[in-house]
Amino acid sequence: MKKILVTGGTGFLGSNVVELLRNKGFDVHSCSRREGIDIRNYSQFKEFVDKIKPELVVHCAAHVGGIAYNALHPVEVFEDNVNIGLNVVRACNESGINKLINIMPNCTYPGHLEEYEESKFWDGAIHDSVLLCLLPEKPEIQAHTSGVSEHVRPKGSF
């Protein structure tokens, strides 16, 4: 049975990933601040990874908030998410884990909608709370280490 670590396993996305994988019979472990593991603290996270020795990491952890929160704390949210991502990649690399699914830790919102309909979700300008959309060019920021991770960036995600 494959041992899988889901970071952010108590959050909205992570809890659903944990449930899906457990229902498929995998040995799933999760870590989050609610579970006492702060991935921003590299030594604490690395110790946890070394203890459970997963074969695969599904990275869902992120510092998240709503539109207003992200607008009020853009640097803190961005900095935490970069550091969380780097700590996950570094721990995988140093622990010999060569399988990492990295789900981008951010939100995408249209700038203006009259009413919320799924068919209109991607219409409109990106909301100003999305930090990178304020830059003249939208850079791809990725961490590459020894083939540890593959990055999938869905269209429309900034």
pLDDT in tens, 127-144: 555 544 444 443 344 344
Ordered domains of the chain (ranges, CATH)? 3-151 (3.40.50.720)
Percent of the chain with pLDDT over 90: 51
Phi-psi region of 154 (alpha: psi -120 to 50; beta: other; left: phi over 0): beta
Crossing angle of helices 42-52/74-95, nearest 10°?
40
Highest mean pLDDT among 1-10, 107-116, 131-140: 1-10
Cα distances from 79 to residues 144, 145, 148, in angstroms, run 18, 20, 22
Please report the pLDDT score of residue 61 as a whole number: 94
Residue that has been written with the tokens 């850079």 in this structure: 139
Q: What is the Cα–Cα distance from 117 to 100, expressed in whole angstroms?
A: 33
Task: Please check the confidence at residue 6 and state whether its pLDDT lies above 50.
Answer: yes
Q: What is the Cα–Cα distance from 97 to 54, expressed in whole angstroms?
A: 7
